[in-house]
Structure 1
């Protein structure tokens, strides 16, 4: 049977190549291109803008690793100036790097402006996940526990089966219980110089909290002394010194100050709620770690088991009895069934407009505690949880 018209091949096409392969010299050994360590640090003449962009980016990354944040920020800025507008992926990467440098340089306002720019340009859940991680890093430098909790809730709304996020959320709830002093700072305090400040300068988190507490004590007197934990003493003087100063400043005219302080009973109830939220989040994280354990090996499995050991220790230190932990485990495992996990994995939304995704996340954060913890609160209202 003859081949159809137009598909005939000359015999020489095959014969010539075969003879050349048989008679030709053996191919040269492959030699991979090798670069010296930190080759980009040397003064090199870049042939095109693309190479110059890479050099600037590598220099910025190295400076960031060495914690030379001013130098890194300068390199990233030069890199961004050379980037073409069409290179969106690298532009987002460099902008995020700039924001992280600004956060370390105690310029959270500028860092959050970049984060907002990245959020507005997000087109999928991967973009939003990166932005939320960036915002968490910024708020961690400020010890802004409320914003940290809000960001973790949004991350979990996107990825409800990520054990690491649940573990971080549990740690944040515990910090919310043990460090109420940090909650007294206003939004303005956080963004003037990078944190709670006095005289225009930044203070470390613990010192800033002490300053805020002393200021509150001087202003309100003895009536708020029960709100402040003992570890806040030291930077601006002891609690007794604060109280003596308050006695000198206040006088009788401040006895009926118009500012209303939180009721001790309501504060205790709030503290108990957050302890429950922390316990439930730890339990949820442990369940998810156990769920992925069978598919892991090597260092990944070791990290998984280490995280489970840490959670076990934290739960033991919280003093919950076995009956309470069993109820929490049942409540946090209701959706952890294979069919449910498969459906959620298949139905995950990857591409969505930035406004719709932002509104979805905000709504999820507002409903988060109601969705995950409301049923537990009802069950625990009449139960003795402690050992």
Structure 2
């Protein structure tokens, strides 16, 4: 059974009678490579043309690793973006956030990310925003915020194994750092109230949960895969198994976590879950805490097992 391959019936309907339209001849515009870098390129009164020039310059600078030049070009581009051109506006804001992150400007990067969030209208927009924030938090070692963003991704797209895998890997890295430094560290100075989230026992349990859920999802998905996609799945499954051996939870813990994390893995439910194009206004996404974490804690595995048994 294919879980994610759903099509609207209208796709297979026969096309209605169409009126043939004769296109008038036109002269195609021929552009030289990197024409937008020419000093005379901006000698135009067309706002759309100026928007394209600055956007292309910014994209090229990013590709060349010149992030300050890219940031300047994107800033100029903003002035020429039409109010109704949300696609380019979002692209430019994301580019500015990533450039600021590369330049070590955390506050500015998060500012542009917040502006991007105000224009998010569907699941796809929010997914892109959260992935952007994860990359920013990773760069500045803001672990509490990074974990929060990853948990939001898992809650919004619960059947995407890669978000769960990244959650597990982040927790694993924290545990390894804790073994080296004696404590889990984070640059989230503005979130002292969430220090409990970095307790070694909770990080260990979230790592186990992330890799168990990854393993459950990939085992379902590989039934529909082949070629290099299947190879990647098999490689990740092997990694997840190896990490769980290192974390060494008890068999009773594995069973309890598997039971909680597999309850919603029903084909019909998975097919009907939120899709990328769904409007944010039409869905209610349960938080990671209410959907999984509270129920995981209720199993009592943290008291029965714990990190003292893990990280061989």
What's 1:100 paired with?
Answer: 98
Deviations 1:152-200 (A, max 9, x none): 11111111111111011112222333333523762299xxxxxxxxxxx
Alignment CA distance shift 1:57-1:384 (3 Å): closer
What's 1:298 paired with?
Answer: 227
Contact 1:124 1:350 in 2 (8 A): yes
Alignment CA distance shift 1:139-1:373 (3 Å): same
What's 2:267 paired with?
Answer: 338
Query: In structure 2, what is the Cα distance between the partners aligned to 1:128 and 1:56?
Result: 26
Alignment CA distance shift 1:124-1:299 (3 Å): same
Shift of 1:344: 2.5
Alignment CA distance shift 1:38-1:267 (3 Å): closer
Query: In structure 1, what is the Cα distance between the partners aligned to 2:191 and 2:260?
Result: 39
Alignment CA distance shift 1:274-1:181 (3 Å): closer
What's 1:277 paired with?
Answer: 206
**Is the aligned partner of 1:64 residue 2:62?**
yes
Alignment CA distance shift 1:51-1:65 (3 Å): same
Deviations 1:75-109 (A, max 9, x none): 11121111111111110110111011111111111
Deviations 1:1-58 (A, max 9, x none): xxxxxxxxxxxxxxxxxxxxxxxxxxxxxxx988665444344536633233223222
Deviations 1:206-231 (A, max 9, x none): xxxxxxxxxxxxxxxxxxxxxxxxxx
Deviations 1:313-341 (A, max 9, x none): 22222233555434433332221121322
Query: In structure 1, what is the Cα distance between the partners aligned to 2:244 and 2:39?
Result: 55
What's 2:152 paired with?
Answer: 154
Equivalences for residues 237-386 of structure 1 within 5 A: 270-322=199-251, 324-344=253-273, 350-353=278-281, 364-367=287-290, 370-371=293-294, 373-376=296-299, 378-379=300-301, 381-382=303-304, 386=309
Contact 2:249 2:305 in 1 (8 A): no
**Is the aligned partner of 1:186 residue 2:199?**
no
Look up the SS of the partner of 1:83 in the other structure: coil
What's 2:142 paired with?
Answer: 144
Alignment CA distance shift 1:122-1:83 (3 Å): same
Alignment CA distance shift 1:267-1:171 (3 Å): closer
Question: What is the root-mean-square deviation of aligned Cα atoms in Å?
Answer: 3.4
Contact 2:58 2:74 in 1 (8 A): yes
Alignment CA distance shift 1:324-1:107 (3 Å): same
Alignment CA distance shift 1:300-1:60 (3 Å): farther
In structure 1, runs of 5+ residues without a counterpart are: 1-31, 190-261
Contact 2:106 2:136 in 1 (8 A): yes
Look up the SS of the partner of 1:123 in the other structure: coil
Equivalences for residues 227-246 of structure 1 within 5 A: none
Deviations 1:233-271 (A, max 9, x none): xxxxxxxxxxxxxxxxxxxxxxxxxxxxx9xxx999x42
Over alpha carbons, which structure has the higher Rg?
Answer: 1
Alignment CA distance shift 1:51-1:322 (3 Å): same
Contact 2:204 2:306 in 1 (8 A): no
Shift of 1:130: 1.6
Deviations 1:107-126 (A, max 9, x none): 11111112112212222222
In structure 2, runs of 5+ residues without a counterpart are: 1-27, 178-182
Alignment CA distance shift 1:40-1:115 (3 Å): same
Alignment CA distance shift 1:141-1:383 (3 Å): closer
